[in-house]
Chains A and B, each alone.
Chain A
Amino acid sequence: MSGVSVSEARASYETVIGLEVHVELKTRSKIFCGCSTSFGAPPNTNVCPVCLGHPGTLPVLNEGAVELALRAALALNCRINQDCKFDRKNYFYPDLPKGYQISQYDQPIGEDGYVEIEVGGERKRIGIVRVHLEEDAGKSMHAPDGSHTLVDYNRTGVPLIEIVSKPDIRSPEEARLYLEAIKSIMEYCDVSDCRMEEGSLRCDANISLRPFGQREFGQKTELKNMNSFRNVQRALEYEAERQTAVLSAGGVVEQETRRFDEATQTTVSMRSKEEAHDYRYFPEPDLVRLHISDEWLERVRGSLPELPLAKRDRYVAELGLPPYDAGVLTADRGVAEYFEAVVACGADPKTASNWVMGDVLASLKATGERIQACPVSPANLAGLMKQVEAGRISIKQARDVFKIMWDTGKDAETVIREQGMEQISDEGMLAAIVDEVIANNPKSVEDYRSGKTKALAALVGQTMKATKGKANPAVVNKLILERIGSPDSGASGGGPADA
Chain B
Amino acid sequence: MRITEETVQNVARLARLAVGREEAARLAPQLSDIIGYAEQLQQVDLEGVEPTSHPLSRYNALRPDEVRPCLDREAALANAPDSDGEQVRVPAVLEG
Contacts and interface: CB of A to CB of B under 8 A. Distances in A.
Contact of B87 (A27, A62, A63, A151): A151
A148 B89 contact: yes
Contact of B63 (A36, A63, A94, A271): A63
A213 B54 CA distance: 47
B92 A147 contact: yes
Given A47-B70, A278-B14, A141 B87 contact: yes
- Chain B interface bracket (under 10, 10 to 19, 20 to 34, 35 or more): 35 or more
A64 B62 CA distance: 9
A93 B90 CA distance: 10
A44 B96 contact: no
Q: Residue among B16, B91, B95 with the most chain A CB within 10 A?
A: B95
B94 A142 contact: yes
Interface stretch (A282-290, A345-353, A383-391, A415-423): A282-290
B91 to A, nearest CB: 6
A148 B90 contact: yes
Interface string B71-92: 1010011010000101111111
B96 A34 contact: no
B62 A44 contact: no
Interface residues of A, number: 56
A270 B63 contact: no
A149 B89 contact: yes
Contacts of A224: 95
B95 A270 contact: yes
B56 interface: yes
B61 A28 contact: no
Given A42-B86, A280-B14, A288 B76 contact: no
B50 to A, nearest CB: 10
B62 A272 contact: no
Contacts of B94: 142, 146, 149
Contacts of B88: 44, 94, 150-151, 153
13 contacts: A36-B67, A44-B86, A48-B68, A60-B63, A62-B62, A62-B64, A92-B16, A140-B93, A142-B94, A259-B95, A270-B96, A271-B96, A272-B96
Ranked nearest first, the 10 interchain pairs of A and B with the lowest CB-CB distance are A34-B68, A64-B65, A150-B87, A63-B62, A270-B96, A283-B53, A289-B59, A94-B90, A151-B88, A291-B59
Interface of B: 10, 14, 16, 53-54, 56, 58-71, 73, 76-77, 79, 84, 86-96
